[in-house]
Structure 1
Amino acid sequence: MLLLAGCARDDREARRRAAGANAVLADYLRVADAGAGGRSFAACAACHTVRQQAPDAGGPNLYGVMGKTVTGASARFAYTAALQSVGGVWTPARMDRWLRSPAAFAPGTRMAFAGIADPLERADVIAFLSSQGPTR
């Protein structure tokens, strides 16, 4: 379960310390900040919308993406064969892998995004995406 902390913008190092010295995804999700994730998502907004019934852009609308099938965020979007072959649903762990490196997660994907190296920033984006849509 994600704890969506109401953290200030300048608390990244405090949250990193709270996650622990040998933090894993669950630790980062525990201290994740959906607001910080929303600010990071602003870069994604060039291609993705995240509002209910918003149109697709260069990528699918991501409203309610968490818990949906990997190619199920938008029924209108033409997903690549690379992404279709991945199968499964978007869990925090899978979204973390995708956000780290889309090309490694789904070799052959058309998504021109290098990824997010910082695990805390990825957790923040996952917290943001989890807050955008119906609770599952």
Structure 2
Amino acid sequence: MRRLAMVALLLLAGCGGGDADRAGRLRSVGPNPDLAALLRVANVDAGRRAFGQCAACHTIGAGGQSLAGPNLHAMMGRAVASNPRFGYTQALIDHGGRWNAARMDAWLAAPAGVVPGTRMAFAGVRDPMERADLIAYLQSESR
């Protein structure tokens, strides 16, 4: 019985997402931080883990195929709807602009709110720190 309890505790310890410094990062930026403050403490590894939910529709490796969504390698700084191997909606094409941190933050928070008519069937990432981590990861894959 004691052995079973120890195994259960070890398994639960592994379910915390692996971001032991998250609370400290949030404390360091204070209440109601803006995107710039969150990006200063963003964690690329946490963003890589969070990207797991994106991987259902997107690849990120160089030369990766498009799935339900386009490959996202080297997308930061690139024009919106510019992957030639993906068929974007006219709404996203017409939206225009370039992917930067602020645009990506808004998109990750509510894709359909930013571009009504997008096919991206994802409600969004509510947690601003998680969005900053994802942006840091996308930036790291754009170098």
Runs of 4 or more, structure 1, over 6 Å off, are none
Question: Tell me, what secondary structure is at the counterpart of 1:43?
Answer: helix
Q: CA deviation at 1:124?
A: 0.1
Matching residue of 2:37:
27
Q: What pairs up with 1:84-103 in 2 under 5 angstroms?
A: 84-103=93-112
Q: CA deviation at 1:39?
A: 0.3
Task: Name structure 1 gaps, 5 residues minimum.
Answer: 1-7
Question: Tell me, what secondary structure is at the counterpart of 2:71?
Answer: coil
Q: Which amino acid is 1:10 matched to?
A: A
Asked if 2 retains the 8 angstrom alpha-carbon contact of 1:20 and 1:27, the reply is: no
Q: Which amino acid is 2:57 matched to?
A: C
Q: In 2, distance between residues paired with 1:10 and 1:113? A: 27
Asked if 2 retains the 8 angstrom alpha-carbon contact of 1:103 and 1:109, the reply is: yes
Q: Which amino acid is 1:116 matched to?
A: V
Matched, 1:42 2:60: no
**One of 115, 123, 129 as aligned partner of 1:114:** 123
Asked if 2 retains the 8 angstrom alpha-carbon contact of 1:34 and 1:127, the reply is: yes
Tell me the TM-score normalized by structure 1.
0.90
Task: Name structure 2 gaps, 5 residues minimum.
Answer: 1-17
Matching residue of 2:87:
78
> How many pairs were matched up?
126
**Deviation per residue, 1:31-51 (Å, 9 max, x gap):** 000100010001100110000
Matching residue of 1:15:
25
Q: In 1, distance between residues paired with 2:129 and 2:97? A: 24
**Deviation per residue, 1:31-73 (Å, 9 max, x gap):** 000100010001100110000001111100000010000112x
Q: In 1, distance between residues paired with 2:29 and 2:134? A: 16
Matching residue of 1:5:
none
Higher helix share: 2
Asked if 2 retains the 8 angstrom alpha-carbon contact of 1:82 and 1:108, the reply is: yes
Larger Rg: 2
Q: CA deviation at 1:23?
A: 0.5
Q: In 2, distance between residues paired with 1:133 and 1:109? A: 23
Percent identity, please: 52
Q: CA deviation at 1:11?
A: 1.4
